């Protein structure tokens, strides 16, 4: 084998080694990037789920307080205890919102801001800071659950989840409310 053939062989080996090194480097870098995205997506999912859970918990506590204050469904708990539970729920909702601010995409953060605003209206009416009728109360609650759905939509897009939670296949749903009791039903229940 001549010198030129040896140089060609050496160059081919070096080129093969360099190509292998660059390919391995690129694949490793892509794997690390994928791991990082997956890790952040997992954190985002936890934050989004925790935030919605805190919002819903606060709304349910507000409903309990509102119904107690309005005489719709008296509670065994005292009003001060319910007010304290609502304050704790609002504090935890605020902490969960901060995680959204740190991890969420722009649309998710905006949806969370909107959700916070309508959730506060529910809190304020339940606590008596704003006065409103039962119909205004229901309107505020409907607004919260529409805002939760909007938040879900933004979160799904941010996480790359296909599908929607609203639209033709999933029409908007109304509050689930018990039907009004008939006077006769009320009497028969008290007589039993």
The C-alpha atoms of residue 177 and residue 189 are separated, in whole angstroms, by 20
Task: Between 40 and 192, name the one with better pLDDT.
Answer: 40
**CA atoms lying within 13 Å on the CB side of residue 187:** 3
The pTM of the full predicted model, rounded to 2 decimals, is 0.71
pLDDT at 187 over 50: no
State how far the Cα of 96 lies from the Cα of 167, in Å rounded to an integer: 28
- Residues of the chain with pLDDT > 70: what percent? 81
Q: pLDDT tens, 9-68? A: 888 888 888 888 888 877 878 877 766 556 678 899 999 999 999 999 999 999 999 999
Phi, psi of 128 (to 5 degrees): 85, 10
CA 143 to chain centre: 15
- Whether the pLDDT of residue 167 is over 80: the answer is no
The encoded tokens of residue 89 equal 């729920």
């Amino acid at each position: 084998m001549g010198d030129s053939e040896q140089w060609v062989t050496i160059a081919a080996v070096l080129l093969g080694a360099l190509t292998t090194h660059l390919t391995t480097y690129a694949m490793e870098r892509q794997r690390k990037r994928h791991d990082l995205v997956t890790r952040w997506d997992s954190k985002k999912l936890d934050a989004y789920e925790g935030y919605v859970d805190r919002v819903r918990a606060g709304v349910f506590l507000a409903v309990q307080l509102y119904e107690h204050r309005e005489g719709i469904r008296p509670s065994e708990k005292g009003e001060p205890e319910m007010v304290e539970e609502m304050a704790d729920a609002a504090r935890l909702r605020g902490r969960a919102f901060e995680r959204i601010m740190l991890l969420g995409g722009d649309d998710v953060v905006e949806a969370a801001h909107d959700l916070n605003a309508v959730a506060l209206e529910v809190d304020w009416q339940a606590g008596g800071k704003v006065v409103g009728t039962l119909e205004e109360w229901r309107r505020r609650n409907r607004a919260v659950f529409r805002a939760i759905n909007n938040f879900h939509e933004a979160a799904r897009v941010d996480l790359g989840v296909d599908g929607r939670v609203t639209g033709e296949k999933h029409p908007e749903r109304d509050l689930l409310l018990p039907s009004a009791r008939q006077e006769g039903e009320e009497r028969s229940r008290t007589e039993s």
